[in-house]
Each structure stands twice: as C-alpha cells, then as structure tokens.
Amino acid sequence: MTPWAHIPQLAFSGITMGAIYALVGLGFVTIARASQIINFAQGEFVMLGGMITFFLLKGVGLPYPLAALLAVLLVVIIGFLVHIMVVYPLRKASVPILLIATLGASIFISNTTALVFGTLPKALPAFWGNQPLQIRGVFVTPQSLFVLGATFLLLIFLYLLSHRTVTGKAMEASSTDPLGADLSGISRNLMAFLAFGVSAGMGAIAGIFITPIFYTSYHAGTLVGLKGFIAAVLGGWGKNSGAILGGLVLGIVESLSVAFIPSGYKDAVAFVILLLILNFRPKGILGSPFIDSRRW
Amino acid sequence: MKGKNGMGALIPCLILVCLSWATPGYPAGKSPYKIGVNLELTGPWAEVAKTVKKAMVMEVERINAEGGIDGHPLELIIEDNGFDLGRVAANITKFSKNEEIILVVGPFEDNLQATSRAIAEREEITNIIICPSNPMLRALKQRWSFNIAHNDIIVSQRLVELCSARGYRKVLVFHAAHPLAQSLAEYFKRFGEEKGIRAIISKETHKPTDIDMTPQLIKLKPIIEREKVDAFYASTAGPPGPIICKNLRALGINIPILGTHAFGFGFIIELGGEAMEGVEFAAGKTVVPYQLDEDDLVRPIVIDLDKRMKARYGVGVDQVAGHANDTALLIADALKRCQGNPTRARFRDAFENTKALKGSMGIYSYGPADHDGLTKSDLVFIRIEGGKFKRIKFPGFE
Amino acid sequence: MLPLWLLSLILPDPHLDLRQEAKFRKRDLFYSGALFLLPLVWPSPHLRYVMILAGINAILALGLSLFLGYTGQISLGHAAFFGTGAYTTAILTTRYGFPPLAGFWASAAVAAALAYFVGRPILKLKGYFLALATLGFGEIFLVVVREAHVLTGGVIGIFGIPLFSLAGFSFDTYLKQYYLIWGVLVGLVLFSKNLIRSKIGRAFLAVAASEDAASTVGIEVAHIKLGAFVVGAAFAGFAGSLFAYIMSTANPEAFGLNLSVLIIMMVILGGMGNLYGPITAAIFLTWLLDILSTYQEYSMPIYALILILLLITFPDGFGTRLNIRLIYLISYWGRKKRRERVDL
C-alpha cells in the first residue's frame, strides 16, 4: 500500500491543525513582543475556549453564539488573571523562575479544568453541518473551512491592532525598544497585561473553532501550546507572519509524516523539527528580529 | 528589606500541618471493618473512578443502614493514586501496613493493576481489581488478587457469537496499546477463526488517552476497502471508543462498528453523538436494566440499583456502577462468612469460596482456579439506537 | 501522623557562600546521623516508603542542581535521563541477567552518554530556547519509549525487575531500601562536595557568576556546561536505576514533563547553587504529594496552587530569605542596643 495515496487527505487535515498551531503561535508572539515573557499557559487558553463554550452550551443552555462569545470573554479575564497573579509578582525574577511559574499556571488550569468539567473529552457541535463534503476524493468538513477563515480574520485583526491603533503601537514599542517606551510614558506592565488578554482571546477563539473537529480534554492544552510555540520558532521567532507560516508548515509536515512512519511517533515529529531548527537555523524560516538579543 | 518574608518559611509548614490534620473522623460504635480503596480519582480515568466511588459509597451506606456485618459497619478509606504507579504502590503499601485494613479495592485501570497485585501478593492482603484480568497476570497465578469485570475470554467469545449471528466473515480489529485491549483482539481472532471468521488485526494502535485517531484510520481506510471488510472492531476502553466511531464517520467509512464491553459506560453515547448509531457490542446487564428477561435472576437487583442511583446521583446505572456495586456486595458477603473473625487470610479464603452470588452484573462464582467470577451468560448483546442502549437477541445465541 | 515538616525545618538552611558549603562541617555529621536514626526512631513503614521516594527525588534534585543551580539554565527534560536509567536497569536485569550492581552503574553510564550526545548541540542554546529544546528531547524520549515496544515494552512497560542485592545480601525490606537509597545519596553528596572543591568545581562557580568573565580567564564555558549537564544526568541515571529496583516495574508514564517540573521546583525551592537545599526541598515536596493524595480529586489543583504560591514567596529558595532576615533582625537589634548605650 503506497503511502502516497493518503497524501491529499492528510495534507488537508494538516492544514486545519496547522491553522490552530499558527493561532497559538501568534498568541506566544504577542505576549513575547509586549513583555519578553514566554507564556507556557498559552495552550490552556485554547483548551478553555472549547471547554467553557461546551459548558455554557450544554450545561447552562445558552444559545451557541452567545455561549461562544461569553466563553471568549471569560478566557480573556482568565488571561488577565494569569498576568496579575503569576507573571506580575515575578516580573523581576530570572528566566527559570518565570518559566516554571507559567508552567505551574498551566498545570493548575488543566487540573482545575479536570476537576470542574470532568476528564472526559468534549466536542462541540459543528457550526454548519456534520456531513463531510467531498472535494476530489478528499473528505472536507465545513468546520475546517471555518477554521481557516477564522485564522485569516484574526491575522488581519492583529495587523490592524498593531499598526492602526495607539494601544497596539504602544505594545509594539515596548518590545522593540523598552527604554524608549519607558521614556515615552508607556507602562510596560500594562502592555504585558493587555497582551495577555489579547493572546487569551485569540487562543479561546481558536479553541472554539477547532473543538467541533477535534475533541478537547483537560490535558489537550499543554501539547497544543508546545506545538504552537514550536510553530512560532519554526517560522521565525517574533514575527506574526513567522507564526502563521510556521504553524502551517508544522501542521502539514506532522500530518504527512503519519503516512510514512508508525502513527504513534506523530507527536515526536514536532519536537524533532524543533531540535533541527534550533540546531541549524534558530532564526527560523523567515528570520527573527529577536535572536541576537541577550535574553534568548 | 521587605518584612513579610522572614515569616515566609512558616507558610509552607503551616500548609503541610493543616493538610495532614484535616482528615474527617468517623462515628464510634462496634469496630468498623476497614476497606482500603485505591482509585485514580485524578487523571484520565477520573470520571470512571468517581462513578466507582459513588456506587461503592452508596452500597456501603445501605449495608451499614441495615446493620452492617453483624453490627460492624463497613468503612471505606479512599485514596487517590493520580494514575501514577509510584502512588499506586505507596497507597497499597500504606493500606497493607495498617493492621485494621482487611483488603484493598483498586486500582481500576489495566495499566496499574500489575504493580498493585505484586505488592498485594507480597504483603498478603486481598486485592480486588475492578477491570478485567489479562493473560499475562493470570499466568502468575496470584492467590491474593481477584477481578470483578468480565474477563477478556468471555467477552471475546460473546463478540464472536455476535459476529456469527450477524453473518460477518471479515472483521478489522483496531486495538489500544495496553494488555487488555491487545488480548481482547487476540482472543477475538482465535475464537473467530474457530467459527470461520477472519480477523485482521491492524498494526496501527492508539493510546488510551488519545483524542483523535484520524491519522491511524486514514491509513486503515484503504485496507477496509480493499479487503471488503464486513465490520470494524474497536478494541478499546474509555473515551477512544466513541472518538474512533466519530472519526470513522467523518472519513466516510460506514461499515458496522463493534465494541468491547467498555462501550457500556455511561458517557459513551453522549461523547460520540450521531456516530454511535448502530454500534453493537456485548456488555453487562446493568447497561439495559429494563430490557432484561422477566425470568432473569439479577433483573430485580439491577432495576433496584438503577432506581437508587437515579434517586441519589441523578444518573442511572451503567457498567461501571454495576461493577462497583457488586464489589461492595461481594466484600460484604465474604465478610459475613468470616463469622466475626475477619483476618486477612480468612477473608481471602471466604472470598475465593464465593459461590453463585447474585450481583447486578451477573452471578459470581470464584474458586482457586477462577479469580474472575463471571461467565459468558452474564453478557448481553447491545445495540445503540436512537441515542439509547437497546438490547438485541439472536435466536440460538443465548 | 506527626507532620514531617518539623524535619525539613531542622535540616540546614542553604548557605550563601557556595565554597563554604562544600567543606566538610560538623553539620554534615549531624544530618547524616539524623537520617540514619530516623527510620529506627520512627519505625513506621509508611514513613520509610515515603522517605525512599524522597531519597530518589533528592538524588534527582541534587544532580539537576549541579546544572541548573550553577549554570542557571533550565533543563525541562531531566525526567528523560531518569527514565533512561530505569529502563537500562530494567532491560539489562530482566533480559540479560545482569547483576544488580552492574545494572546500577550501567544505568548511570548510559544516561551520561545520552546527555553527552544530546547536550553537545543543545547547550549552545540559552534561556527559553534551551528550555524548549530540553522539553522537546524529553517528549521525544517518551514517544520513543512508548512506541519501541520490542525494546521497552511500550505503554505496558517492563515487569519483574529483581530486587537490588549485593553479594547475596538482598535489599528486600523497606528499611534496607531506605539505607540503600540514602546511602547512595550520601555518597553522591560527598562526590559533589569534592567536585565543587576541585578545579572543575571552581570553574562551575565562575561560570555561575558570569559566563563572560569566566571565558576571559580561559575557562571553556561550553565544556563546563556540558560537564554539569552530564553529571546531572548520571545522577538521574542512578536514581532511575534505584527506582526500577524499588518499583520492580518501569513504565513510561512515570517519566514525563510533570516529573521534570517537580525536580526543577525542588532545585528552585531549595535555592539555586547549593547542595543541601534541593535535598530538603525534595523531602518537603515528596511529603506534600503524599499528604495531598488524601484529598483525592483536589490533589492536583492544590499542588499546582501551592507550587505557584511557593514560587512567588520564595523565588530564591526556602531558607535564603529566612537566613538573611534572621541575620538582619539580629544585627539590627544588636546595633540598636549599642546605639542606645552610646546615646546615654
């Protein structure tokens, strides 16, 4: 059985997953650009988006769009809380401490989710319909198209945010030139705070869009978060376009690899790619504005 | 210098003090018979373990309300092992070193039972495991371990009967990567071949904690089409079961799906949604309480259990609750036969001599050669229709 | 059940002077004695078992503190070396009939070799990227162990690892295993102290203080970092081997990211750059986890919450602030008294 016959179907599901990695990667980049912090709890925002929507939809009985909107708002608040309770108190601490603190936040969120919502995987109803469309032999669910659309829109949103609004420009400034930002009266802590909110919101939206396709579960956030970070590094650390490109590449390569190696190794593929990139081209595919600085 | 941190070292110590002293007490009376319970209350099997806990607690309370065992109440000492081998071992060790604990129930999961059984054998304390045994462990002939659930042999035999009744000649088997699922697949193949059914065991497997099996199924799809397979057997337990069904349908694969007895857990239908329509499997009688035969000896027990579970917890009985309830029943019955002197050795012997005890899942009989308790006739055929479990019968296969 | 936090208070506060700590002090004898007497004075099997687990964690923390503590770099994949040690022992003793002691040394050797090959390319990275790379390595390790079931038994793992025995003397009771593990720890502590006092140890301290300054005096920073990494991995290999003998099974689920995070927490809470702190923290955290299991469903969220709170309160480790604070208080009070006398 030639592996090549699977390629179109695998490639398509790879693009779908890749869009999610891209969104998660964007979340990492947004926070890192505003505050030089890597937020390891990023993946949890994605998971929470799907989980809370499920709860509001099935448990409380709200209509789907309202549940989704409310969930995004709640996750944004949770993002703010993570900043206030974990990152802000440790803002002067060293890299290892911050890293473990955000990891600790990630563990706390995923385990509390298990406690509150149970450990069973949850799925949301598809936005449009369950029947997969067939395009030239490949089974495409309408939901995947929604995912791609949402990614595109969020990218535009981020672009407008950072280039057309004052707040967004302030966030940009506090990362490219911290001293200058301080002198201009931009509060870097406030920028970091806002960045957490924006990333949390984007992650939540990603989660809501992807949960109808892939189940979500309390432990799903950690892995998605890691792969999103890998995607951001792969594409070019620090650039929005890098995160998008990295996400898509990672998603496709990971998915296609299944055709050639036993499927159990699939999760390792992302990490192997990571090690290769860090070894041979740490700047990533598109290059990175950050790599030369001491912090990294 | 900030002032507050000088006292800071006391905070973690205070935390430890509070935590270690905050355990609930028990009312006094005739000395209770203590039962250690070692469950995965956190981790991937938390939902199922919680159902076990709820059902056992309910049954123990009922037994105590009726006077306990000759006036001795039963007391459950429950500890979480977090699905971690180290803690499983620590908990059962803790229990076995506590002189008052007569036996240990748990862990629930197949991956963890080997460690617990080995320690139980060494410490000479009865270990009752809820999940089925597997060939590797049965070969060890451990005297102190007993299993509650239907074992892989009878489940596979029953499933082969289902296939024969349906006329399936070729079945593709996709199993999870743990001993029970593997042995279910292998027994199915062996018994199937005796009846002229060809089973293809796929090289692809999945982990019990996977939430998406699409990549593996994409690779299996061409095999299904080429071999013109009649049915797909998802040999797995827990959430992967319904997820596989959903993934299959999303890929446009519409052949009938067969499941293991673990498809009788309460959350299965809700998790899989529409994809579960038409899935068939053999499971315990508690899955379909109101559809059992009128003359079935355990029918009244099952219905009663269902009513009580609904009254207390708001959900009806399912496979897991049935097992847990029966565990408590079996323990109480064995304790009664110890006649006031329940040492660990006497309890073990009494338990091993359980004969024809009616539980909700069936009629249990243990013996020196059989530590599994149930037989083939304690399984019924079930099909999911209209979002509900429906019992089906085939003439000649009762 | 008397709370064991008392013990962790008695054990030493981390010193600020790294070189001073490396000397052999009376305090070392005192603590060795206390550890020796503990299971005899308090003959509870439960205590012995938890202290066994604590001892294994202490070896892990000690090893990691040589890397993390002195170079300030995070390795999120340390559990993989632990697992390597455990599986090496498991495979060699169950399949090839190696005697336990040989398995013990082999485990450390294999873990160290793995660390060497992985460390050479990875340690060029710093900060978050190093953390990410080590995490990647840890995850790859897990996936390989789960998939290569011919070698490792896959998800099921390996069973029936024999007990550790030395020339016919088998460590089969908890008491004997307790002494075995803490004996190994004492040996490793002695080794570490010697290491710190040696030329290599001084190079460690130099690199910890400032990498650039160290390289200007001719220290090969990359070699030092690799050396610390490898030594840490070797310790983890020892710990893994002992773990395999105690549990008599090896299973991939025990060697994941959660364990790596736990070990790092022990090093951070113990105070970076000292030897006894991580050991104390290891005892504390192991007991914490054990006490938490009575909380059933709530155990993990409480654990994570406590971790975060501890990190916020003690980013420099348990004893450091207590030490400084106490000294400051005493000296302030003393100065105040002296000033009052002068004013009269």
Q: Are A35 and A139 in a shared domain?
A: yes
Q: What is the pTM of this model?
A: 0.83
Q: Are A50 and A193 in a shared domain?
A: yes
| Residue B135 lies inside a defined structural domain of this protein | yes
Residues of chain A found within 8 Å of residue C139, distances taken between Cβ atoms? 226, 267-268, 271
Is residue C272 pLDDT above 80, yes or no? no
* A296: DSSP letter: -
Percent of chain B with pLDDT over 90: 30
Residues of chain B found within 8 Å of residue A115, distances taken between Cβ atoms? 42
Distance in angstroms (rounded) separating the CA atoms of residues B170 and B374: 29
Helices (H), chain C: 5-10, 18-22, 26-41, 45-64, 70-71, 78-95, 100-122, 127-147, 149-152, 174-197, 199-209, 211-216, 221-247, 257-270, 276-292, 299-313, 318-343
- Ranking A216-230, B100-114, B140-154, C14-28 by mean pLDDT, the lowest is C14-28
Mean residue pLDDT across chain A: 85
Q: What are the Cα distances from residue B138, in Å, to B99, B151, C155?
A: 28, 11, 19
pLDDT in tens, C85-128: 999 999 999 888 888 899 999 999 999 999 999 998 888 887 78
Residue A64, helix vs strand vs coil: helix
- Residue A215: which of B211, B222, B267 has the nearest Cβ? B211
How sure is the predictor about C30, in pLDDT bands with cuts at 50, 70 and 90? confident
Which contiguous run of DSSP H or E holds residue B381? Answer: strand B379-385
Q: Are B328 and B357 in a shared domain?
A: yes
Q: Are A44 and A164 in a shared domain?
A: yes
Contact across the interface for C313 and B5, Cβ inside 8 Å = yes
Is residue B274 pLDDT above 80, yes or no? yes
pLDDT in tens, C243-264: 999 887 888 888 888 899 999 9
**pLDDT reported for residue C252:** 85
Q: Which chains touch B (3 or more CB pairs under 8 A)?
A: A, C
What average pLDDT does range B377-395 have in this prediction?
88
| Residue A21 lies inside a defined structural domain of this protein | no
| Residue A3 lies inside a defined structural domain of this protein | no
What average pLDDT does range B151-174 have in this prediction?
91
Distance in angstroms (rounded) separating the CA atoms of residues C165 and B210: 40
* A90 vs B325, residue with greater confidence: B325
Nearest residue to B248 via CA among B274, B269, B228, B268? B274
- Of the segments A12-21, A182-191, C331-340, which one has the largest average pLDDT value? A12-21
Peptide bond preceding B107 in cis form (omega within 30 of 0):
yes
* B31 vs C26, residue with greater confidence: B31
Domain span at residue B326 reads: 31-151+306-377
pLDDT in tens, B70-86: 888 999 999 888 787 77
Q: Are A131 and A193 in a shared domain?
A: yes
| Residue B7 lies inside a defined structural domain of this protein | no
How sure is the predictor about B11, in pLDDT bands with cuts at 50, 70 and 90? low
Q: Are B156 and B264 in a shared domain?
A: yes
Residues of chain B found within 8 Å of residue A220, distances taken between Cβ atoms? 211
- For testing contact with chain C, the best of A37, A44, A100 (most C CBs within 10 A): A100
- Residue B252: which of A121, A139, A264 has the nearest Cβ? A139
pLDDT in tens, C57-76: 999 999 998 888 777 788 89
**pLDDT reported for residue B6:** 37
Q: What are the Cα distances from residue B257, in Å, to A214, B202, B233, C301?
A: 20, 15, 6, 38
The residue behind tokens 């019924």 is B380
pLDDT in tens, A232-271: 999 888 888 888 999 999 999 998 888 888 877 888 899 9
How sure is the predictor about A81, in pLDDT bands with cuts at 50, 70 and 90? very high
Q: Are B164 and B286 in a shared domain?
A: yes
Domain CATH number, residue B261: 3.40.50.2300
Q: Are B217 and B146 in a shared domain?
A: no
| Residue B1 lies inside a defined structural domain of this protein | no
Is-contact C62 C185, C-beta < 8 A?
A: yes
Q: Are A142 and A285 in a shared domain?
A: no
Residues 6+ apart with CB under 8 A from C205: C18, C19, C70, C196
Q: Which residues pair with B283 in a beta bridge?
A: B380
**pLDDT reported for residue A295:** 45
| Residue A118 lies inside a defined structural domain of this protein | yes
Q: Are B132 and B180 in a shared domain?
A: no
Distance in angstroms (rounded) separating the CA atoms of residues C215 and C208: 12
Q: Are B185 and B51 in a shared domain?
A: no
How sure is the predictor about B7, in pLDDT bands with cuts at 50, 70 and 90? very low
Distance in angstroms (rounded) separating the CA atoms of residues B21 and C4: 12
Residues in A lying within 8 Å of B, measured between beta carbons = 1, 5-6, 9-10, 13, 111, 114-115, 118-121, 123, 130, 132, 134, 139, 141, 214-217, 219-220, 255, 258-259, 262-264, 266
Is residue B3 pLDDT above 50, yes or no? no
Residues of chain B found within 8 Å of residue A139, distances taken between Cβ atoms? 250-252
| Residue A269 lies inside a defined structural domain of this protein | yes
**pLDDT reported for residue A210:** 87
- Residue A10: which of B177, B218, B250 has the nearest Cβ? B218
Percent of chain C with pLDDT over 90: 26
Chain B residues 293-312 within an 8 A CB cutoff of chain A: none
Q: Are A101 and A238 in a shared domain?
A: no
- Residue B20: which of C1, C49, C296 has the nearest Cβ? C1
Q: Are A236 and A89 in a shared domain?
A: no
**pLDDT reported for residue C16:** 46
| Residue A10 lies inside a defined structural domain of this protein | no
Is-contact B229 B172, C-beta < 8 A?
A: yes
Q: Cα distance from A78 to chain B (closest Cα, Å)?
A: 23
pLDDT in tens, B201-229: 998 888 887 888 888 888 888 888 888 99
Residues of chain C found within 8 Å of residue A272, distances taken between Cβ atoms? 136, 140
| Residue B186 lies inside a defined structural domain of this protein | yes
How sure is the predictor about A111, in pLDDT bands with cuts at 50, 70 and 90? confident
Q: Are A151 and A280 in a shared domain?
A: no
Q: Are B68 and B115 in a shared domain?
A: yes
Q: Are B122 and B46 in a shared domain?
A: yes
Distance in angstroms (rounded) separating the CA atoms of residues A12 and A144: 9
**pLDDT reported for residue A51:** 93
Q: What is the ipTM of this complex?
A: 0.85
Q: Are A105 and A86 in a shared domain?
A: yes
Q: Are B254 and B168 in a shared domain?
A: yes
Nearest residue to C122 via CA among C181, C77, C65, C91? C77
Chain C residues 244-283 within an 8 A CB cutoff of chain A: 257-258, 261, 264-265, 268, 272
Residues 6+ apart with CB under 8 A from B159: B188, B233, B258, B260, B281, B282
As given in the structure block, the two tokens for residue C323 are 């030490």
Counted domains in chain B: 2
How sure is the predictor about B396, in pLDDT bands with cuts at 50, 70 and 90? confident
Distance in angstroms (rounded) separating the CA atoms of residues C7 and C30: 13
The domain boundary, picked from A167, A187, A218, lies at A218
* B203: DSSP letter: S
Residues 6+ apart with CB under 8 A from C86: C107, C240, C241, C243, C244, C250, C254, C255
- Ranking B13-22, B54-63, C100-109 by mean pLDDT, the lowest is B13-22
Q: Are B371 and B385 in a shared domain?
A: no
Counted domains in chain A: 2
Q: Are B387 and B242 in a shared domain?
A: yes
As given in the structure block, the two tokens for residue B303 are 């219905």
Q: Are B251 and B386 in a shared domain?
A: yes
* A292 vs C63, residue with greater confidence: C63
Domain span at residue A282 reads: 220-290
- Ranking A205-209, B7-11, B99-103 by mean pLDDT, the lowest is B7-11
**pLDDT reported for residue C326:** 52
Q: Are A44 and A119 in a shared domain?
A: yes
Q: Are A205 and A224 in a shared domain?
A: no
| Residue A236 lies inside a defined structural domain of this protein | yes
Query: Per residue in B219-239, is it b (16+ CB within 10 Å) or e — as a string?
Result: bbbeebeeeebbbbbbbbbbb
Q: Are A196 and A250 in a shared domain?
A: no
* B28 vs A236, residue with greater confidence: A236
